[in-house]
Chain A
């Protein structure tokens, strides 16, 4: 029996056979993968998982592929860092950073979804893959296409950070730089999706792609000693990750690998692009699309495809949402850097600052287990912090010059902060 029984519409429940489709023909709702739990459940144990590889594929039984991974074998199982110093600043004694800024190979959580999507693309028989991306996905699809020997087409908005463009081109892919914002890139790709017979990882392979993110949730629980945290704060763009982390935790509970899911899920966005957090904070049923205007480009999606699922996840779990200013984004990046030695991208600045705001508003008990999802690496978005980090101190290559510099108030202040 296959692991994947079929696909089902989240909106109306219509069922479909397993295939590279993502939209319900009846209501346009998103399709989800249906796993064969009767067959999977009896064989999955903590011991079996712990004996697996130090990658997301230790959860192979729970991912929607039939064969062994053929692409991205080393993705995932990133560190869950106990953030003592940041915790002290925020008044939290059990604060953790799930650090996908060091995910292999392209330094963002996107490697999880791409490893899953491209392994599935091969199972479906595709030789060409594509994606619409704000950058991290572009990097990951390009890298994994190179590894897996796929031809690839990557669509990006033309104003993307240089680091993300170079970090895509290096893998020898075809990069189409679209004059327009991400939502326009996305629409173009949806229009192109059916035309060329490509595996668009975030379009026709989306149900399989998205489930790769469940591993982010599985890992948090395993790394906490097989238990779900009390709170998880997640950056939201398209809105998929937050729901998949929650889904992952609930699957572990269903399998009896953890004892309950008390976890409250919190959505974090930039004020310059906050359709999901605004809908949650105003208790609206429908989110309003926005025109993004923020330095947090990796999460600048004004028309989030999984916005409703993100809203449902937050509400169902009893969590909340908040958004932060451009200045707070940079403050968040700096705060994480100086307290924990982790350089997150702009989305991480958003998430850290939102966590700070939520902590100040009393959402977390001081001994609650709080996890911040860091999804990308700061080296990719250096433009955001250029000129905002203080200055280097120039000296001559002699001790007198060093002594003189150390005596200056400016340097002592700099080293103390």
Chain B
């Protein structure tokens, strides 16, 4: 099973153009570290110097924004689908 992560286009140069990669269960924080272990350099794109997620990075666990869950401490379990999405523009005003 493991955890599936959908990788956005700007990060696919780290994942050999793989659209989906797998990581071990844990939390969003451990997921980021796991990604870094597999794809060196990717963590710096997702987090700033203090280790916080960059403000234009959106992460979803099973379609739910982690800011509605527990942020980077949000638990990630086997079978979860994670999506990393850059902020995108509104279709309105």
Name A's B-contacting residues (CB within 8 A).
11, 21-30, 109, 131-138, 182-187, 189-191, 193-195, 202-203, 206, 209-210, 234-241, 286, 288-289, 291, 298-301, 303-306, 308, 347, 375-376
Contacts and interface: CB of A to CB of B under 8 A. Distances in A.
B9 interface: yes
Contacts of B83: 187, 191
A347 B9 CA distance: 33
15 contacts: A22-B88, A25-B10, A134-B92, A136-B91, A184-B63, A186-B90, A191-B85, A202-B88, A202-B91, A203-B89, A234-B93, A235-B93, A238-B91, A301-B92, A347-B93
Interface of B: 6, 8-11, 13, 19, 45-46, 54-58, 60, 63, 65, 67-68, 83, 85-93
B93 A303 contact: no
Contacts of A22: 86, 88-89
Given A28-B56, A193-B9, A131 B86 contact: no
B93 A299 contact: yes
Given A28-B45, A184-B63, A206 B92 contact: no
Contacts of B54: 27-29
Nearest to B10: A25
Contacts of B65: 183, 289, 303
Nearest to A185: B91
Given A11-B56, A190-B85, A289-B68, A132 B91 contact: yes
A360 to B, nearest CB: 23
Contacts of A190: 8, 85-86, 88
Residue in B13, B45, B46 with the greatest tally of chain A CB atoms within 10 Å: B45
A238 B56 contact: no
A286 B55 contact: yes
A73 B32 CA distance: 47
Contacts of A375: 93
Contacts of B92: 133-137, 182, 237-238, 298-301, 347
A401 B10 CA distance: 71
A389 to B, nearest CB: 24
Contacts of A185: 91
Given A29-B54, A137-B91, A240-B89, 6 more contacts: A135-B91, A209-B89, A237-B93, A238-B92, A239-B90, A308-B55
